[in-house]
Amino acid sequence: MKGFEAGSLQLLAEALETLDGGFSGLPDRAPELTAGELVSLRAGLTAAAERLRDNYPYHHPLYVGQMLKPPHPVARAAYQLAMWLNPNNHALDGGRASSAMEKEAVAGIARMFGWETHLGHLCGGGTMANFEALWVGRESNPGKAIAASAQAHYTHSRLASVLGVPLREVAVDERGRMDSAALERTLEDGEVGTVVATLGTTGAGAVDPLAEILELRRRFDFRLHVDTAYGGYFALAGNLEPEAAAAFDRIAEADSVVVDPHKHGLQPYGCGCVLFRDPGVGRYYRHESPYTYFSSPDLHLGEISLECSRAGASAVALWTTMTVLPLERGGTFARSLESCREGALALYDALLADSRFAPLFPPELDIVVWALRAPTASEASARAERLFAAAAQHDLHLALASFPREMCAPAAPVESWDSDRLTCLRACVMKPEHREWMPEILSRLDVAGDRLAGEPPEIS
């Protein structure tokens, strides 16, 4: 196969035999498909494959657009292996082994942040995980507001409104990090119950100054929630700048943390994780189920999560990935994150040296954002949109993102600000292969940029 890894299909077949052996005491149930069924399944699968061609090539290193990362082959195979059982991690009744695997995997993530004890579980993704953390925040500090930065993911304002809690937006500095002086002013009336610190914002990968926020917690009484859905695994990377590294090093002092294995953790979608430092918050989840929880006195994950039915396969995929690629500093997984960051730094350096582009600031993690130089802000935005489209014509897939003038002005991309916001190009350099592919990415960007300027395109 040309673009997709397929060797793991053989390993999946072998693992399936091993799984099958665990149920050999049962009477045979003639599970093979009939010839007629095979014909119709083949037709269905071929039709699905054809439909799926209508996608951006998310798996390819020339896709450097949105925050999408292909699952590791072992995660894909383990997820599919679990599909022959389709366990449900709501209760031990529906997913005995996969619940145990989830507890082990989640404990491994908690240890990555420095917690030997915790309460936590997997869930559908970053939104659901943040929802639970903000809900526990509301239950712990009833009637109080949530404070999050203007660059925090929009999910926080939506969730605040779902929870019926006011949201206070805190200003950011020119690199998109929460301005701790602005946070201090926000805290002064004592009405904030939960502060959200984002370590790795969605737009620009900015890391909020956790040490300064922790300092404020000495004087003000609030719960500290760290949303590190995208950035969390960078806790293992050895090549962050000291300020960002210092923030990741102190995550253990937060009250709750969200990290998404389906972002940098090499997992298929449907895998978020929420963790609480104090296992005692489990009291907010307490409920009775007339249907489940009878099979064992051990903890059923549904007793500590808001969702009921949940894919046990997500836990199987995560556990298997973490077995093959342990969360260790200096290990293969950590090095792959370091490569992503090296790729992002190479992109930033090349953009800085190119007079057409104005990168807003050096990447703190592996997201790079840059404006196109132009006389006016509206022309710079229009050029970014045109380059985005021109690059796609060269099979280079970038993303667009809008940033406020305050975050763009220091890079001086325009002479006249006829708009308060600028549409910029954005690259999520989230595949370790991006580092090796950067010359090719830059060459295609160069050709697309030349085309935009009306010059004849060079063939590289």
The site for ligand PLP (CB under 6 A) is made up of 67, 125-127, 130, 153, 155, 198, 202, 227, 229-230, 260, 272
Minimal distance in Å, beta carbon 126 to ligand PLP? 2
Residue among 80 and 202 whose Cβ is closer to ligand PLP: 202
Residue among 266 and 414 whose Cβ is closer to ligand PLP: 266
Any idea what the Cα angle at residue 145 is, between residues 141 and 148, rounded to 5°? 120
Minimal distance in Å, beta carbon 287 to ligand PLP? 24
Any idea what the Cα angle at residue 333 is, between residues 346 and 123, rounded to 5°? 110
Minimal distance in Å, beta carbon 65 to ligand PLP? 13
Greatest extent of the chain over all pairs of C-alpha atoms, in Å: 78
Q: Which residues pair with 367 in a beta bridge?
A: 428
Q: For residue 4, which amino acid is it?
A: F
Task: Please check whether residue 424 is in contact with residue 382, taking contact to mean a CB–CB distance below 8 angstroms.
Answer: no
Residue nearest to ligand PLP (CB): 126
Residue 52 contacts by C-beta under 8 Å, 6 or more apart in sequence? none
Minimal distance in Å, beta carbon 153 to ligand PLP? 4
Q: For residue 3, which amino acid is it?
A: G
Q: Which residues pair with 404 in a beta bridge?
A: 421
Task: Fill in the DSSP letter of residue 259.
Answer: E
- How big is the chain, counted in residues? 460
Minimal distance in Å, beta carbon 222 to ligand PLP? 19
Residue among 305 and 451 whose Cβ is closer to ligand PLP: 305
Minimal distance in Å, beta carbon 315 to ligand PLP? 17
Other C-beta atoms closer than 10 Å to the C-beta of 276 total 25
Residue among 213 and 447 whose Cβ is closer to ligand PLP: 213
Residue among 74 and 148 whose Cβ is closer to ligand PLP: 148
Token pair listed for 141: 């500090």
Minimal distance in Å, beta carbon 329 to ligand PLP? 22
The Cα 352–Cα 35 span in angstroms is 61
Residue among 66 and 300 whose Cβ is closer to ligand PLP: 66
Residue among 153 and 373 whose Cβ is closer to ligand PLP: 153
H helical segments located in 113-209: 126-140, 155-163, 180-187
The dihedral region occupied by 386, where left means phi > 0, alpha psi between -120 and 50, and beta the remainder, is: alpha
Least Cα distance to 265 among 200, 207, 212, 216 occurs for 200
Minimal distance in Å, beta carbon 271 to ligand PLP? 9
Q: For residue 332, which amino acid is it?
A: T
Residue among 155 and 381 whose Cβ is closer to ligand PLP: 155
Burial code (b: 16+ CB inside 10 Å, e: under 16) for 38-77 equals: eeeeeeeeeeeeeeeeeeeeeebbbbbbbbbbbbbbbbbb
Residue among 260 and 303 whose Cβ is closer to ligand PLP: 260
